[in-house]
Amino acid sequence: MNMTPRQRFLATMHFGSPDLVPLTPGGPRESTLAAWQQQGLPEDVRWHEHLWDLLGIPREITQPQINPGVSFIMIPTFEEKVLEHRDGHYIVQDWMGAITEIADTYDYTYIRSAKDFVTRKWHSFPVKTRADWEEKLKWRYDPGAPERFPEDFEARCTALRQRDYVFGLSFSGAFWQLREWCGMEGLCILMADEPEFVEEMIGFWTDFVLKTLEPLLRLAPPDHIVVNEDMAYKLHSMISPKMVRRFLMPAWEQWIAAIKAANPEAVVEVDSDGYNGELIPLWIEVGFDACSPLEVAAGNDIVAFRRRYGDQIAFRGGIDKRALAKGGDVMRAELKRVVPPLLESGGYIPSCDHGVPPDISWPNFIAYTRLLAEMTGWL
């Protein structure tokens, strides 16, 4: 009997024996879609469904997918407003309370949304002192705020328990969230100068996430939870392993324990751009099941990581977007380098190593997806 998408995902990520490996080539953003529509993708179709039909791959989803509607963001948010418009740029107070600059070819909704590949500049962040934390931010994170859950939350959970698809969600990890409050430089300075204050904020965020997750874990435990951290540069992690142990691992441990208590089969994944070589051993130690997206340009070699760590951690991503942009023999060589050895060892869902950029043409994306479908057994 063929597996459901849910069974297939869990079997793959837990180094089991799926009937097929999930086919997830990666997703475009606005500028990519605009380029593809100039290169042959019809404008009035959903790219994913059109591509599957083009390749003759059956669509997997047979049920309407339900969003439980749980919100982890601050309530209320800050007022979004343009403070200044000059030299082709907006200076904006965004909904998180930061003062941000963005080109006026976009509006301020692009500042905090991954709708496209957009360069932004941050001028200041809401938390510089303990007084800022208490007066501007802390009170906005009440896990009991009624707006955090839709009125029909329990009915949605009842329907979710009958799903045959992968139900997943994501939330900001401790490093990611404090960086949003304090800024990268501000957070690192506080870690050195006021570590107890940082631990206090992380403890608060840890507890907030646990309390917000609790109703969902009780009524409809997810299959896949991604903790967003983005904590590495091109060559190194943004903070030392020693600081990771002190500041971040206690939060991760508590979240993973709560998730696994509700659903032992859940895949708990950490998402971090940049070079993850210094971090993977810590993620394994703390109990993460998987990590992504493993950007090749940042120095991640997913094949070498698998040789080193075996079945201790699963991967998603790891296919060099630059090779996909070149297409042809370069693209084929990259897939042959990565996909067969990782599929043989299990615990791997191949995909582009980040959002699909516009230099990957529509014809190249079709060719890449076709080869990926052949390698994963869909064609």
Indicate if 100 and 188 belong to the same structural domain: no
Indicate if 211 and 298 belong to the same structural domain: yes
| Overall pTM surpassing 0.85 (yes/no) | yes
Cα separations in angstroms, 148 against 71, 141, 173, 282: 5, 10, 18, 32
The pLDDT value given to residue 1: 55
The pLDDT value given to residue 59: 84
> What residues in the chain have per-residue pLDDT under 50?
none
Residue finishing a domain among 108, 125, 142? 125
Residue finishing a domain among 125, 155, 189? 125
Strand partners, 120: 102
Overall domain count for the chain: 2
Indicate if 238 and 283 belong to the same structural domain: yes
The pLDDT value given to residue 63: 84
Indicate if 348 and 227 belong to the same structural domain: yes
Indicate if 350 and 224 belong to the same structural domain: yes
> In which domain, by residue range, is 91 found?
79-125
Secondary structure of residue 267 in the 3-state scheme: strand
The pLDDT value given to residue 2: 87
Indicate if 236 and 348 belong to the same structural domain: yes
Q: Are strands 89-93 and 99-103 parallel, antiparallel or unpaired?
A: antiparallel
Q: CATH no. for residue 191? A: 3.20.20.210
The pLDDT value given to residue 261: 98
Torsion angles phi and psi, residue 187, rounded to 5: -65, -45
Indicate if 87 and 140 belong to the same structural domain: no
Indicate if 93 and 200 belong to the same structural domain: no
Indicate if 121 and 135 belong to the same structural domain: no
